[in-house]
Structure formats: structure tokens, C-alpha cells
Amino acid sequence: MRLFEKCVYKSKIEPITRNNIGPDQFAYKKGHNSTMALIKSQHQWLEWPDKNANYVRVLSFDFSKAFDSVPHDLLFEKVKKLPINPYVVNWLISFLENRIQRVMVDGMVTEYLHINRDVPQGTVLGPVLFSIMVDDIKTADPSNALVKFADDLTLGVPGNESGDTSRSEAACLQDWAEENRMLLNLEKTYEMVVRRHTSVVLPELIPSIKRKTWLKLLGVTLQDNPCNWDLHFEEMLKKASGRMYIMRVCKYYGLSIKQLDLLFDSLIMSIFTFAIELWGCAYDGKYLNQIDKFIKRAHKNGYISKRTHIKEIRDKRDKKLWNKITSTEDNALLELLPEKRSERGRLPKSPESMGSLQDEDDERLPRSLPGN
């Protein structure tokens, strides 16, 4: 079934959803990932204070059992609005209709119940159907920034002396949840305030939303001071140290150095390289050197064959991301780059090129000036 789902998705659905699901969704889309979602969010938080904002409210919303709460009837209406082949639309509807389930515990079996909501997880179509469901979640104020990664919603709202629109944004999202019969989990909805200066007075709290000095978004711990990565590095090093026990056991039982290299890359380096494009700009002396010392100890104790430097890995990952952004015209981060300078704005490389530019300019000038 999964193979057939993939064939239908690749040929009939993915070409449509690629252009119809908004650029604010970073999950389940080719060429997009959680790191790009975090970069897009942080870029806005840092850009607004450079302009006219005194602070930025960062709101992290969470739905209760998001995938299990999608009403089939509302989802069907949204699918029908997309320019998908009607036969495929009917196939999608039949894919979700007439599902039943029951529970068996210690030989006791319940009666079957019909399911009229949820998108099946572990399927090819489940994630894209959920993306279609939440695609119409938009900001009330276009100047605010919403970034989605599946059911994780991060909203950035700039503010100054005259206030901000965070309350209306929270109310708008609450209204959407009620209209679409989904439930916001306010117990897991938090706010963090990024300020231009620490002297800036914090804005008033939003009712029912807790304020924190840090938020864990998509696996990365961000703090209200964008230059402070203490919590994230502390968590990374703690997790890596815990996994070193596995390395010691495997070395004790005689795994080869080649096998240990593979194990170290999958268990330890995966922690240090996740979203490194986001936090890799942290201070070398305070942060990055901690990782280098960790790798140095692992090499000294014989867990890896060669020592690598985290800054070299960071530079390679940055170049890879840059090539990814600039190689496609529809990349979600392309709009963050400054505009290209035109060739006419550059200095000529030689006298010959100077002459050609002068001739081109002469052709664009009027042949005669109007009289006074």
C-alpha cells in the first residue's frame, strides 16, 4: 500500500501541493527542513530590532493530538479546493472514509467504532493531508511572521512603545482552532521576548500564555538573548557525554576503529551537527571550543581514528546550505538574501570594458537635450 501511495503522491499530488501549500510550511516539502525553519524565524527576530522594533514576541503554539484531531469533513472540503484530479480527490476521500478501530486488552475486545477524524501517521499521505489542513492558518497582520513545521507553529510579532498585535494574533489562531474543531494546548503554548536592549521594559503578559526566557523549538534551545547559547550547548554536551558510555562498552567488546568511527558519527556527531547552520556563529572561545575539546578527548581515548574540528564541519555545512538556497528559485530562504548588484553597478575590469560600458551608456542617453 505504501508503494502505491508513493506513486500516486509523486505523480499526482506533490506537483500540486508544491505550489499550493504556502511558503510558511517547512515540513514534508522537498528542499525544506527544520533548520531552514529556524533560520527563517531567527532572521526575522534579529531584523526587526535593527529597524524600528524595541522587542519581538516569539510565540510557540501547540495543538493537542494534532494528527488525531483533524476532522475528515473539513479536510475533504480543503482538498477539493486544490486543483487535484477529481479521481485522485475521490481516492483520497475513500482512503480516510469508513475507518474503524477497536481495542483488545487481555482477551477483552471492545466494539468497533467509526473514525471521523485523524490522518493516519506512518503513511505517505498522512503528512501532506495534515499540511493541507493547516495551510489556511495565516497571520492577522501581514507584517508578523508565522513559520510552520507540521503542527509546530512559531509566531514572531514585533512591538514598540505603541504596543503590538500579539493578542489579536493569539485570538485569531484560537478562532481558527474552534472553527476547525481542533484544540490548542495552552499548557504547552509559551512566549519569549527578544529585546533590543535589556533596558527595554517587557510588554504585558498575554492571558493564558506563559512567558519563558528560553524556548525549545524543533530540537534547538533558543534564549531571549540571541547571543546566548548556554542552555543549548549544555544540553548537547550532556547528551553526548551520556552516549559515550555506549562507545566505551563497544570498545571494550572489541569493535574495530572503523566501526567505532561510524558509531561516533551516528551517536555523537549527529548531536553536534544538528542545526549547526543556526548556532554555528556562536563565540568560538566560549562555545565551539567545548565541542573541539570533547572530540579531542574521544580521539585521545581511542574512540575515533582522527580528530575533526567543529568549525571545519560548520563551514562545509554553511556552503552546502548556501548552494542549496541559490540553486533553486523557489527556496524559502532565498528572500532573506540581499538583492544582487547589477553588472552596471560594478567597476570595469579593463579599459576595454570601460569603453564598452561608455558606449552602452551613450546609447541610453537622449541624442539631444530639450532647449531651455
- Per-residue pLDDT for 1 more than 90? no
* pLDDT above 60: residue 60: yes
pLDDT at 241: 97
Residue 342 has pLDDT above 70, yes or no: no
Rounded CA-CA distance 182/64 in Å is: 8
Average pLDDT over residues 345-369: 44
Question: Mean pLDDT over residues 308-325, rounded?
Answer: 94
The pLDDT tens digits for 139-177 are 999 999 999 999 999 999 999 999 999 999 999 999 999
Whether the per-residue pLDDT at 279 is higher than 90: the answer is: yes
- The reported pLDDT for the residue numbered 285 is 85
**Arithmetic mean of pLDDT, 332-348:** 71
The per-residue pLDDT for range 215-241, each reduced to its tens digit, is 999 999 999 999 999 999 999 999 999
What per-residue confidence (pLDDT) applies to 75? Answer: 96
Round to whole Å and give the CA distance between 11 and 59. Answer: 37
User: In this prediction, what percent of the chain has a pLDDT beyond 90?
Assistant: 73
Res 319: pLDDT: 95
Name the average pLDDT for the chain.
89
Grid cell in block for residue 296? 579531542
Distances (CA, A) of 91 to 5, 14, 97, 138: 11, 15, 10, 28
The whole-angstrom separation of Cα 241 and Cα 110 is 46
**Looking at residues 327-347, what average pLDDT do you find?**
75
Q: Which residues contact 247 (CB under 8 A, 6 or more apart)?
A: 260, 263, 264, 267, 268, 298, 303
pLDDT tens digits for range 280-300: 988 888 999 999 999 999 999
Query: Looking at residue 242, what is its pLDDT?
Result: 96
Does position 356 have pLDDT exceeding 50, yes or no?
Answer: no
Q: According to the model, what pLDDT value does residue 343 have? A: 55
* pLDDT per residue as tens digits for the range 63-84: 999 999 999 999 999 999 999 9
Residue 160: the pLDDT is: 92
pLDDT for position 365: 37
Q: Give the residue-averaged pLDDT of 320-349.
A: 77
Mean pLDDT of 109-132: 91
Band of residue 363 on the pLDDT scale cut at 50, 70, 90: very low
Tell me the mean pLDDT in the region 317-337. 90
**How confident is the model at residue 150, as a pLDDT?**
92
**Backbone φ and ψ of 185, nearest 5°:** -90, 90
Distance (Å, whole) CA 119 – CA 7: 19
The answer to whether 185 touches 62, Cβ cutoff 8 Å, is yes
The mean per-residue pLDDT over the stretch 17-27 comes to 92
Residue 266, pLDDT > 60, answer yes
Q: Where are the domains of the chain?
A: 1-223, 230-327
